[in-house]
Amino acid sequence: MQEFNPANVPAHVAIIMDGNGRWANARGLPRTMGHRKGVEAVRGAVRTAAEIGIRYLTLFAFSSENWNRPENEVSDLMGLLKAFIRRDLADLHRENVRIRVIGDRSNLSGDILPLLIEAEETTIANTGITVVIAFNYGARDELARAMRRLAGDVAAGRLRPEEITAERISSTIDTAGIPDPDLIIRTSGEERLSNFLLWQGAYAELLFIPDLWPDFTRETFFAAIEQYACRERRFGGLTQPTLAVGS
């Protein structure tokens, strides 16, 4: 097994799992078959992330803009998420995986929300990797919901405008308590963020890889972490942050 220097392992990796449709098209299959294969790649990615020692893995599963797809594709994607939780929750729980879900919960169909809540509640005390499922998620929507909450607190006299700091915003958005992603990977060769983690990704390393999501393997993941390990992160300074003497 390949070993990484723990100092070079990102604590939080977020993945834009793109290319399911093209994977299916290339084989003359319906798009839904690509999504099915994509679920298998998800299982592998969770296992590999835990093996590497990643603490948080965020997976973009359905965006707030994906409602613009044909109704049958949307319902296939909803069905696959439900089937995934029903089939995999017990295994994930046994493997000490904690599940968190980010995204807008207000307009999800009746049977999906209880499953998402069950997944979170069943695994809440687990201490292994945290898998964050971004479902019905869009960064602008997330920020707009957070701003409405903060504005409501100000209007009600519970919060002063000067108390709205970057930290306060971070703890009001869906990812409250989760560290910012160190690495955002997008598969399929597209080089854009598509409304994913716009606030949290301020200093994330971005990695765009040509592989379509269903082809994402353990080797692909290891190669991505190797690339990350070669990056120099500066956070606006001049050198990598070092521990202050005596701290």
Positions that interact with ligand IPE (CB under 6 A) = 16-22, 60-63, 66, 77, 188, 190, 192, 194, 213
Q: Which is nearer to ligand IPE, 9 or 21 (CB)?
A: 21
Distance of alpha carbon 235 from alpha carbon 124, whole angstroms: 32
Q: Residue 38 has which token pair?
A: 């994509």
How many residues form the binding site for Mg ion (CB under 5 A)?
A: 1
Q: How many CA atoms lie within 13 A of 49 on its CB side?
A: 28
Min. distance of Cβ 138 from ligand IPE in angstroms? Answer: 9
Distance of alpha carbon 45 from alpha carbon 15, whole angstroms: 10
58-87 residues in contact with Mg ion (CB under 5 A) are none
Count helices and strands in the chain by DSSP H and E runs? 7, 6
Q: Which is nearer to Mg ion, 128 or 210 (CB)?
A: 210
Q: Which is nearer to ligand IPE, 79 or 152 (CB)?
A: 79
How would DSSP label each residue in 111-176? THHHHHHHHHHHTTT--SPEEEEEEEE-HHHHHHHHHHHHHHHHHTTSS-GGG--HHHHHTTSTTT
Min. distance of Cβ 192 from ligand IPE in angstroms? Answer: 6
Closest chain position to ligand IPE (CB): 21
7-46 residues in contact with Mg ion (CB under 5 A) are 18
Residue type for position 105: R
Cβ neighbours of residue 27 closer than 8 Å, sequence gap 6 or more: 33
Catalytic residues: 18, 66
Distance of alpha carbon 145 from alpha carbon 61, whole angstroms: 20
Q: Which is nearer to ligand IPE, 9 or 32 (CB)?
A: 32
Q: Which is nearer to Mg ion, 56 or 62 (CB)?
A: 62
Min. distance of Cβ 36 from ligand IPE in angstroms? Answer: 11
- Strands 98-102, 183-186: pairing is unpaired
Min. distance of Cβ 141 from ligand IPE in angstroms? Answer: 13
Q: Residue 124 has which token pair?
A: 């809440």
Min. distance of Cβ 98 from ligand IPE in angstroms? Answer: 21
Q: What is the distance between the terminal CA atoms of the chain, rounded to a whole angstrom?
A: 35
Cβ neighbours of residue 73 closer than 8 Å, sequence gap 6 or more: 31, 32
Residues that bind Mg ion (CB under 5 A): 18
